[in-house]
Amino acid sequence: MSHTTKNGLSSPYVELDREAWAALRASTPLSLTEEDLAVLRGTTDPTSLDDVRDIYLPLSRLLNLYVGATQQRHAAVRAFLGEADRPSPFIIGVAGSVAVGKSTTARLLRSLLAQWPNHPNVELVSTDNFLYPNTVLQSCGLMRRKGFPESYDRRALVRFVSEMKAGAERIDIPVYSHLSYDVVPGEKQTVLRPDILIVEGINVLQPATAGRLAVADFFDYSIYVDAKVENIRGWYLDRFRELRRTAFSDPRSYFHHMATSISEEEALEFAANTWRTINEINLVENIRPTRGRATLVLYKGDDHRVRRVRLRKT
């Protein structure tokens, strides 16, 4: 555990190894089963019940403490104003690269946080739902920039989060399909006013341009899932191989031709090139630079398991 910098100065961060972090679970019960976890895990994600016990239960406990303190603060303000309506949702941002495991992290947190009695209603929204449709991206020459900040309808995303924070009872948002690789025309995800809202996406910690608000400005807590670039590349290619064997074989898949029309060698070359020319550039230029804005960073080792945690104390 470290509370000081290399030059001996005090730091607002504390860094804990896996063992020290796991000890902070205290008596938080493990209620997930192997079957539950199998549903929550992403493709080729090796997260185990040991990982849930050591990493996500302590994080669930910490977030529960934050939520409770925030609810008390909101109650005090409402009492002062003589208002009786419910507090606004506690909003958590989960960021990180493609293939690093942030979606699994977000789904696990949704499941674990909903089991605490003081905030049973937990909603999860992916920022993929706010990608511009492919027709828009194509007309703007942005298809090979998909996932970069400019490929999202950032105004709509900020409006959604700000309205949720303001206490909106219900908001309908678009739905993105990874199968069709596009926003689904006419389909909506209905978000009813939750106790906790988790917003997951690669660019959720992106700062705003001058004079505007960013989605992160509405977060009460933020998490960044991190790993070495070369490890994430390997996990991305592993996931691509598995998707080629499974989801891409569906005729409705945007990438169906990857499973049927070209060789595995050609498909993997396509994936490696996509990583090199799109995802890695986005990670290095846009995603990784936002890590310092996170309240908590989960650092993964070569085996995809969280090895240490950096927590901002203030």
**Residue list, annotated binding site:** 96-103
The CA distance from 108 to 48, in Å, is 11
> What is the reported pTM?
0.94
Residue 2 scores a pLDDT above 60:
no
The CA distance from 41 to 61, in Å, is 21
SS3 for 98-144 is CCCCHHHHHHHHHHHHCCCCCCCCEEEEEHHHHECCHHHHHHCCCHH
What pLDDT does residue 151 have? Answer: 98
What pLDDT does residue 5 have? Answer: 52
What pLDDT does residue 119 have? Answer: 86
**Residue list, annotated binding site for ATP:** 96-103
The 10s digit of each residue's pLDDT in 218-257 is: 999 999 999 999 999 999 999 999 999 999 999 999 999 9
The pLDDT of 255-276, averaged and rounded, is 96
Superfamily of domain 13-312: P-loop containing nucleotide triphosphate hydrolases (3.40.50.300)
Residue 147 scores a pLDDT above 90:
yes
Residue 56 scores a pLDDT above 80:
yes
% of the chain with per-residue pLDDT over 90: 86
Confidence class of residue 3 from pLDDT cuts 50, 70 and 90? Answer: low
Question: In what helix (H) or strand (E) does residue 17 lie, and over which residues does it extend?
Answer: strand 10-17
